[in-house]
Amino acid sequence: RSTTSVSLVASDGGNNKLEFDPFTIQLVRVVDSYGKELCLEVISPTTDTDILSAAQFRSDGSPQTALGRMMADLGVSTVAALSHMIPDGEKTRNEPHKVSPSWVLVYRDLCEWAVLYERICYNTFATDTLIVRDGLLRSKLFRGELFSHFRKNLEAAIAEIREKHRRAVFLIGIAKHSKVITRYQLAMTIERVLPPGEARYVRIPRALEAKAYVWPEYAKGAEAEGEEGEAPKFVAGDMYFVRFGKAKGDPLWAVDILSCQTDKDAEIFGYLLADAIDGFPVPFYPRCLQKAHEHAQVVDFDLAILQDEVFAAVRNLVPDGHVLDEFMLNVDSSARRYE
């Protein structure tokens, strides 16, 4: 089986380490497998989140970014209302020293979810398409039951694309690491659950999955809607273990398939196998995801431009620009031992 495979990836903070960064800058950039830039913002832990929220909308209130479209569809107007992990604007203005700097990473992940949402809900597809997310289809970043509404909007959009345009859009998420694999891999090897010879996959029951998590609600999906207890508001997919190689020593991955599409799992994994079989540099790992990671990295010339902009901003703040020039010329003397 073969089809168009596309992945969306946000730049990792570990890939844009600046040598001089007094502002603790976080570059939020989301690209796809073809290198197309779908989101670009620069924020810091002291950014006023009210101004950040307003930047997602035009003066007439209509959304102008992918995050703004997702917020409008979910019925929220501020990023603090979208996620309980992002501080409100008043706190960032009045008590910046009490704000956890990790909220910028939450914002980056929300932008990645928003680009995924926009790609499915507000774009047309010329061919059947497999969309691969870097990470499982689950999240605790959204406030309340917003992630559940997010999932239902995606399911409705995929159904509409199928009905109106006769195109199939599949959504999966693949994790590089999983507590579920860590817990059960040895037992699966002993029981020869995935014997060598061909690429294989197996669906993981929710009950087994829940035993691997500290919080069992992280393994409570759409099938639990209407049941007693806490609503299923963190999970949008069903988990599978997948091995794309034929040998028993080939890597095993945890993959989430959007819950409404699990009846198409054989077709989806056929498409994913065609993309993963030629994975490089990581063998038997989706090539579209690896290409997106390559494009998302902020390195070389892009990183040099960002560093120059930081120096330019600092130059406007210090009274004597010569001090900054001297600072820029300083080198790490200890590094000379490697020359």
With 0.85 as the threshold, say if the pTM is over it.
yes
Per-residue pLDDT tens, the chain, 339 aa: give them: 778 999 989 886 545 567 777 778 888 999 999 999 999 998 999 899 999 999 999 999 999 999 999 999 999 999 999 999 999 999 999 998 889 989 999 999 999 999 999 999 999 999 999 999 999 999 999 999 999 999 999 999 999 999 999 999 999 999 988 889 988 988 888 899 999 999 999 999 998 998 888 777 777 777 666 566 566 789 999 999 999 999 988 999 999 999 999 999 999 999 999 999 988 889 999 999 999 999 888 877 788 888 888 888 888 887 776 777 666 666 555 655 545
Q: Are 154 and 194 in contact (CB under 8 A)?
A: no
- Sequence-ordered strand ranges (E) for 85-211: 129-134, 169-175, 200-203
Q: 237-243 and 253-258 as β-strands: parallel, antiparallel, unpaired?
A: antiparallel
CA-nearest of 134, 111, 157 to 7 is 134
Count CB neighbours of 215 within 10 A: 10
